[in-house]
A and B are shown apart, each in its own frame.
Chain A
Amino acid sequence: MFLYGDIDKANKLFPRTGFLPRFMFQGCTRLAVKFDFIAGLLLKGIEATGAKDFRGVQAQVGEVLAWRNLFWGLSDAMARTPSPWASQYVLPNLDYGMAYRVASNIAYPRIREIVQNVMASALIYLPSHAKDFKVPEIRKYLDQFVRGSNGYSAVERVKLMKLLWDAMGTEFAGRHELYERNYFGNHENIRIECLMVADKIGHSAKYKGFAEQCMAEYDLDGWTVPDLINPDEL
């Protein structure tokens, strides 16, 4: 037992103990690895279907790589700009952790959408079971009609597409999307908490001050600063 009866502490457990930024650090890094894996599958997938040189496909795959790069960047930023913690210890950066939470909620469904757009019927054109390849009567048809492009045999293509389907299409895959979208709390909380933290630690006031700095440079009569020229002569 770590806590009992202290209502104030029970409500502060996650925000106060350092758990949250560490949780975000682990979650972001794990997700970045998962996106490496999905990116690898997608890059192989467009080779196997012959779509890899289409400009539209390249743009979509490039976006997946950008998302992958973003999460590695956030993981790196969390580690390299830590905050002081208790005693001599340090915590991963909370702001970048909270950015990961919101970004992952957008990125995961987006990547799944891209995979479905880019691979399209290649994820549907699949035999029922590995056993189908063991039947000589139909093997020749599978080898011919489900062959891949760019040197992918039918078995290699189907093996790849079934893995990609298990990652992005099966019930397991759908559950993973739901899981990732809610990994760090519901879609509203993860956003609202960014605002709450910014309000609490003074960042909101700082951003408003920055906007007000610009607004203080002019009024109904024109520029209020000495270095800019009023449009009087026009």
Chain B
Amino acid sequence: MSLRDRTTTESTSASTTPVRVEETLVSELATPARTRPFTGQEYIESLRDGREIWIHGERVKDVTTHPAFRNTVRMLARLYDALHDEKRNSILCTETDTGSGGYTHKFYRAPRNVEELIGTRDAIAEWARVTYGWMGRSPDYKAAFLATLGADPDFYEPFQENARRWYKKAQEEVTFVNHAVVNPPVDRNKELGEVRDVYMHVEKETDGGLIVSGAKVVATTCTLTHYSLVANNGALPVKDKDFALVCIVPTDSPGFKLFCRPSYEMAADAIGSPFDYPLSSRLD
């Protein structure tokens, strides 16, 4: 059985009706690899896909124009534009170590010494200033994990080639990955394996990959990402094989459903103006 990146997330809801997904789910393999970071406009375009987002009782048709998300999308686009801005490029970026000959945000590359760490810190700070410090899950956040894939790929044996491939890909395009690692606060008094109706776990192994079902909570900003890292984190240890899964899932994967809290951005537009809600109207 080939497990190479064929994981399917059947649902992030508490759905109990498995929907088997047959088609190839690795969209990035079908398109040519990027060798430089997204621009702001390219980032915005990249969000126009089949992602399934629900808010206020409706499915979002286009996250880049929907009033619940549109200005937050544009603030995130500023981050990508900053990478290509001559004045800020030297603070934010360094050359890739993947052989692509391009540049990347410094935190996407594994550091070798204090000097590189200080440069990385300054890049994180400079990017945070673009959103005045209010974007808790900017793309560099997940670079905290993504660069580990290149520094120590052998930890992931027998999937070390996946680790190397993702280190290269993420670095070259400054992929926006977030994570969904926390189980919902349901039955906190029980072992993980006793809450299979809610917590995410592998339901079925197939030749095409794994069928996964269950819900995760606080997947901050996942609506505006390219991918989500799915894993388990919490006070309770994993004791069962079907909970021992770490994978990356494209945000537009079939069956991957995102259920949103109310949008402060949309509320700000409805009852105020940018003058009245200058942060929540664009950094929600």
* Chain A residues in the interface with B (C-beta under 8 A): 1-7, 9-11, 13-14, 16-19, 22-23, 25-27, 29-37, 75-76, 78-80, 82, 85-90, 92, 129-131, 159, 162-163, 166-167, 170-172, 175-176, 179-180, 183, 186, 189
Contacts and interface: CB of A to CB of B under 8 A. Distances in A.
A90 B152 contact: no
Nearest to A166: B279
16 contacts: A2-B149, A2-B248, A4-B210, A4-B244, A4-B246, A5-B244, A10-B238, A13-B231, A14-B231, A17-B152, A29-B124, A30-B128, A85-B110, A90-B113, A129-B276, A172-B284
Interface residues on B, range: 35 or more
Contacts, number: 200
Interface of B: 3-7, 107, 110-114, 116-118, 120-121, 124-125, 128-129, 132-134, 136, 138, 140-141, 143-145, 147-149, 151-152, 154-156, 159, 162-163, 166, 202, 209-210, 220, 231-233, 235, 237-241, 243-248, 264, 271-273, 275-280, 284
A30 B278 CA distance: 19
B117 to A, nearest CB: 4
A7 B114 contact: no
A4 B275 contact: no
Given A4-B245, A17-B155, A33-B132, 9 more contacts: A11-B238, A16-B155, A23-B141, A37-B132, A85-B152, A86-B154, A130-B276, A167-B279, A172-B279
Contacts of B124: 25-26, 29-30
A86 B148 CA distance: 9
B241 to A, nearest CB: 5
B46 to A, nearest CB: 22
A11 B277 CA distance: 42
A2 B154 CA distance: 10
B148 A171 contact: no
A90 B111 contact: yes
Contacts of A23: 141, 144-145
